[in-house]
Amino acid sequence: MRTDVEVAALAARAAAEALLPLRSSGLSGRQLGDVGDAAGQRAIAGVLAAERSGDAVFSEEATDDARRLSADRVWIVDPLDGTREYGDPERADWAVHVALWVRGELSAAAVALPALGEVHVTDPAPALPARPDGPVRIAVSRTRPPAEAEAVAAALGGRLVPLGSAGYKTLAVVRGEVDAYVHSGGMYQWDSAAPVAIARAAGLVTCRLDGSPLVYNRPDPSLPDLVVSRPELADRVLAAAGAAR
């Protein structure tokens, strides 16, 4: 029997394999995004139905079932995070998220970065690369860089790195591409559950902008802000972000 993290990885890979060919199908824009969302959802749902049929599923692309709120095991899924970037063949910053929540905690996860051919999991935990010399690099939304991130960059002498997809931005910290990710202004639980689980496994600090814990499988799907930081920078990042609020 596969472990939970093996199931998460299997589902993320299945979605990646469904999504990649669609980028060269001739579809574009919203139509490509909609077809991709549906294909990724079918792929993940098929794996979870075959491997963990008794578990609840909480997905961006499925009707929310209130039974998840009393379930012990809930898969939190985003079949395609970064739809705008998925539609641009030159960009790799989009992702597939599959996380398992068990009685209050994220217990296993996989995030696929299909355009890079990578699948990151919680076990074995990723090794956090050493930070290179130079300014602190802070991942932000390409379209809505938050004022808190600009304040962090100013306080730490850093620079903003615009990227797509919450999952890609979180994994960019895990992969050493940036040093922190600061977000405010809107997000859902499925946008961060799987990447946050992997960031935690790698030893990164993950929390709300005010330093409070990120809580998943709540009735309200929103989880509007997020900080992911290398541990040696986290206190300074949170202090600067808090001062800007």
b/e burial code for range 180-195 (CB count within 10 A of at least 16 → b): bbbbbeebbbbbbbbb
204-220 pLDDT, tens per residue? 999 999 999 999 999 99
pLDDT of residue 106: 98
Q: Where are the alpha helices (DSSP H) in 57-102?
A: 83-86
Question: What is the phi-psi region of residue 244: left when phi exceeds 0, alpha when psi lies from -120 to 50, beta otherwise?
Answer: alpha
* Secondary structure letter of residue 177 according to DSSP: S
Sign of CA dihedral 46, 47, 48, 52: positive
- d(C-alpha 67, C-alpha 210), whole Å: 30
27-63 pLDDT, tens per residue? 999 999 999 999 999 999 999 999 999 999 999 999 9
Q: Do 112 and 92 form a contact (C-beta atoms < 8 A)?
A: no
Angle at 165 between CA 93 and CA 170, to 5 degrees: 90
Sign of CA dihedral 142, 45, 76, 199: negative
104-141 pLDDT, tens per residue? 999 999 999 999 999 999 999 999 999 999 999 999 99
Query: Dihedral, CA atoms, 40, 45, 46, 48, nearest 10 degrees?
Result: 130
Q: Do 52 and 98 form a contact (C-beta atoms < 8 A)?
A: no
pLDDT of residue 244: 85
pLDDT of residue 143: 87
55-105 pLDDT, tens per residue? 999 999 999 999 999 999 999 999 999 999 999 999 999 999 999 999 999
pLDDT of residue 144: 85
191-207 pLDDT, tens per residue? 999 999 999 999 999 99
Instruction: Calculate mean pLDDT across residues 230-243.
Output: 95
Question: Helix 189-201 to helix 166-174 angle, to the nearest 10 degrees?
Answer: 10
Number of Cβ within 10 Å of residue 202's Cβ equals: 22
The pLDDT confidence band at residue 239, using thresholds 50, 70 and 90, is very high
Q: Which one is predicted more confidently, 11 or 185?
A: 11
